[in-house]
Amino acid sequence: MNYPGNAKKEYKKYTNYANRGMDLEVLLNQSNTYYLENDLAVIYKKPTPITISEVKYGAKERIITKAFFRTPSTLDYNGIYKGLYIDYDAKETKNTTAFPLQNIHPHQLEHMKRVINHGGISFLIIYMNNTFFYLDGKTLLDFCKNNTRKSIPYQFLLDNGIIIEQKINPRLDYLKALDKLYFKEK
């Protein structure tokens, strides 16, 4: 159920958090749990890629005592929705006029291209100016192909992205953007 009044309160709460990156992840994980529990989609965040260097044996379990973060070569989230493979990442910027493309690694763009070529759906969820946007991979790749700019103007997001509704449950109903683009529903 969607209570607009409460949703606004939740939204304010969100914007007050210090660690925005983590929060967007929390919102998406909660949304994906909702989708899973309501049998709407099967989508998970991938674990953080690390290289394990040292492991010790504790009393009850193995403990990793040295490990390093690796640069991900894919996107953070993937799964299946209405029979289609979906693959996306969550990005945010405090910049108010443009979304810097340095937020996306070149191999991540390459991955998005591959996914789309194989019949999957790839996209970004961008948090900017207190708004959550769905930006389809095809739109992003076209932008990168046709522009030499190193950032996407905010107006481009407003014109070509889809604003994601914030609700109580799911917190970010981003699958609605896919319905709009890929599944023409009443």
Helix axes 106-117, 137-146, angle to 10 degrees: 120
Q: Which residues have a Cβ under 8 Å from the Cβ of 39 and sit 6 or more positions away?
A: none
C-alpha distance from residue 29 to each of 76, 79, 96, 142, 158 (Å) = 11, 13, 25, 29, 25
Residue 48 near its own copies by CB under 8 A: yes
Is 119 a binding residue for its own copies by CB under 8 A? The answer is yes
For its own copies, which residue of 31, 32, 78, 166 counts as binding (CB under 8 A)? 78
Burial of 106 (C-beta count, 10 Å sphere; 0-12/13-18/19+): exposed
Per CB under 8 A, the segment of 72-80, 93-101, 128-136, 161-169 that binds its own copies is 72-80
Name the minimum Å distance from CB 77 to its own copies: 11
Cβ closest to its own copies, residue 67 vs residue 163: 67
Among 16, 19, 102, 117, binds its own copies (CB under 8 A): 117
Q: Which of residues 135-154 bind its own copies (CB under 8 A)?
A: none
Name which position in 6, 13, 21, 50 contacts its own copies (CB under 8 A): 50
Residue 127 near residue 24 (C-beta atoms within 8 A)? yes
Does 181 contact its own copies by CB under 8 A? no
Neighbours of 156 (CB within 10 A): 17
Q: Binding residue for its own copies (CB under 8 A) from 9, 12, 118, 180?
A: 118
Tell me if 145 sits within 8 A of 90, measured CB to CB.
Answer: no
Exposed, middle or buried by CB within 10 Å (0-12, 13-18, 19+), for 43? Answer: buried
Closest contact distance (angstroms) between CB of 123 and its own copies is 14
Does 65 sit near its own copies (CB under 8 A)? yes
Binding site for its own copies (CB under 8 A): 36, 39, 41-42, 44, 46-50, 52, 61-70, 73-74, 78-85, 87, 111, 114-115, 117-120
